[in-house]
Amino acid sequence: MPQRQETLMEPTMNNGNGHGHGCAIVNGRSRTNNCTSDEVIEWFEQVSQKGGSVQKEILSQILKQNHGAEYVKKWLGYHNIQEMDSSALESLFTSVVPISSHADFEPFIQRIADGDTNPLLTQQPITTLSLSSGTTEGRQKFVPFTRHSAQTTLQIFTLAAAYRSRVYPIREGGKILEFIYSSNTFKTKGGLTVGTATTHYYASEEFKIKQEQTKSFTCSPAEVISGGDYKQSTYCHLLLGLFFSDQVEFITSAFVYSIIQAFRSFQELWCEICNDVRSGSLSSRIKLPKMRKAVLEIISPNPILASKLENICKELELVDWFGLIPKLWPNAKYVYSIMTGSMLPYVTKLRHYANGLPLVSADYGSTESWIGVNVDPSLPPEKVTFTVVPTFSYFEFIPLYRHNKQEDYRSIIADDFIEDKPIPLSQVKAGQEYEIVLTTFTGLYRCRLGDVVEVAGFHNGTPKLNFVCRRKLILTVNIDKNTEKDLQLVVEKGSQLLKRAKKAELVDFTSYAHVSNEPGHYVIFWEIDGYAEDNLLEACCTEMDASFADHGYVVSRKTKSIGPLELCIVERGTFKKILDNFIANGAALSQFKTPRCTSNHGMLNILRACALKKFRSTAYNT
Ligand code: AMP
pLDDT digits (tens, 9 = 90+) for 221-251: 999 999 989 999 999 999 999 999 999 999 9
- Residue 382 CA, ligand 1 centroid: distance in Å: 16
The mean per-residue pLDDT over the stretch 505-518 comes to: 92
Q: Which of 333, 327, 389 is nearest to 363 (CA)?
A: 389
Whether residue 5 is predicted with pLDDT greater than 90 in this model: the reply is no
Instruction: Check if 204 has its Cβ closer than 6 Å to any atom of ligand 1.
Output: no
369 lines ligand 1 (CB under 6 A): no
Across 59-73, 409-423, 501-515, least confident range: 409-423
Structure-model confidence comparison of residues 587 and 169, the more confident one: 169
Nearest atom in ligand 1 to 367's CA: 4
Q: Is 435 in the pocket of ligand 1 (CB under 6 A)?
A: no
pLDDT-derived band at 621, boundaries 50, 70, 90: confident
Q: Does the pLDDT of residue 165 top 80, yes or no?
A: yes
Q: Look up the pTM and report it.
A: 0.89
According to DSSP, the β-strands at 334-338 and 359-361 are parallel
Separation CA 337–CA 458 (nearest Å): 23
Cα 319–chain centre separation: 31
Q: Is 530 left (phi over 0), alpha (psi -120 to 50) or beta?
A: left
Q: Given CA atoms 35, 379, 180, 4 in this order, what sign does their dihedral have?
A: negative
- Segment 32-61 shows an average pLDDT of 90
Using a 6 Å cutoff on CB, does residue 364 contact ligand 1? yes
Q: What is the mean pLDDT of residues 612-619?
A: 96
Report pLDDT for 592.
Answer: 87
Q: Where in 141-182 does DSSP place strands (E)?
A: 142-145, 174-179
CB neighbours of residue 239 within 10 Å? 25
- Residue ID of nearest Cα to ligand 1 atom 7: 366
Residue 611 has pLDDT above 90, yes or no: yes
Residue nearest atom 10 in ligand 1 by C-alpha distance: 366
Segment 340-351, tens digit of pLDDT: 998 999 999 999
Q: What percent of the chain has pLDDT over 70?
A: 91
Rounded to whole angstroms, the Cα distance separating 344 from 240 reads 28
Q: Does ligand 1 lie within 6 Å of residue 76's CB atom?
A: no
pLDDT of residue 34: 66
Ligand 1, atom 21, residue with closest C-alpha: 341
CA of 344 to the centre of ligand 1 (A): 12
Whether residue 145 has its Cβ less than 6 Å from ligand 1: no
Q: 136: helix, coil or strand?
A: coil
Predicted local confidence at residue 490, as pLDDT? 96
Q: Is 381 in the pocket of ligand 1 (CB under 6 A)?
A: no
For ligand 1, say whether the CB of 471 is within 6 Å of any of its atoms.
no
3-state helix, strand, coil in the chain (%, to 5): 40, 20, 35
How deeply is 473 buried, as exposed, middle or buried, from its count of CB atoms within 10 A (0-12, 13-18, 19+)?
buried
pLDDT of residue 417: 82
Digit-coded pLDDT (tens) for 189-216: 999 999 888 888 888 888 888 888 778 8
Of 210-219, 481-490, 542-551, least confident by mean pLDDT is 210-219
pLDDT at 185: 85
Residue range 523-534: mean pLDDT, rounded: 95
Beta bridge partners of 455: 465
338 in contact with ligand 1, CB cutoff 6 A: yes
Q: Which atom of ligand 1 is nearest to the CA of 338?
A: 19
Question: For 366-412, how does the pLDDT look when each residue is reduced to its tens digit (9 = 90+)?
Answer: 999 999 999 999 999 999 999 999 999 999 999 999 766 555 544 44
Mean pLDDT along residues 535-543: 96
Say how many Å lie between the CA of residue 495 and the centre of ligand 1.
Answer: 24
pLDDT at 18: 33
State residue 135's pLDDT score.
56
Nearest to 375 by CA among 43, 6, 130, 81: 43
Model pLDDT, residue 197: 87
Cα 441 to chain centroid, rounded: 20
Indicate which residue's Cα is closest to atom 16 of ligand 1: 364
pLDDT in tens, 16-30: 333 333 454 444 444
Give the pLDDT of residue 25. Answer: 46
> Is ligand 1 within 6 A of the CB of residue 466?
no
pLDDT at 473 over 80: no
* Size of the chain, expressed as the number of residues it contains: 622
Mapping DSSP to helix (H, G, I), strand (E, B) and coil, where does residue 553 land?
helix
Q: Which atom of ligand 1 is nearest to the CA of 141?
A: 2
Q: How far, in Å, from the CA of 365 to the mean position of ligand 1?
A: 6
Beta strands in 531-608 (DSSP E): 566-570
Q: What is the pLDDT of residue 69?
A: 96
Residue with the smallest CA separation from ligand 1 atom 6 is 366
Mean pLDDT of 550-571: 93
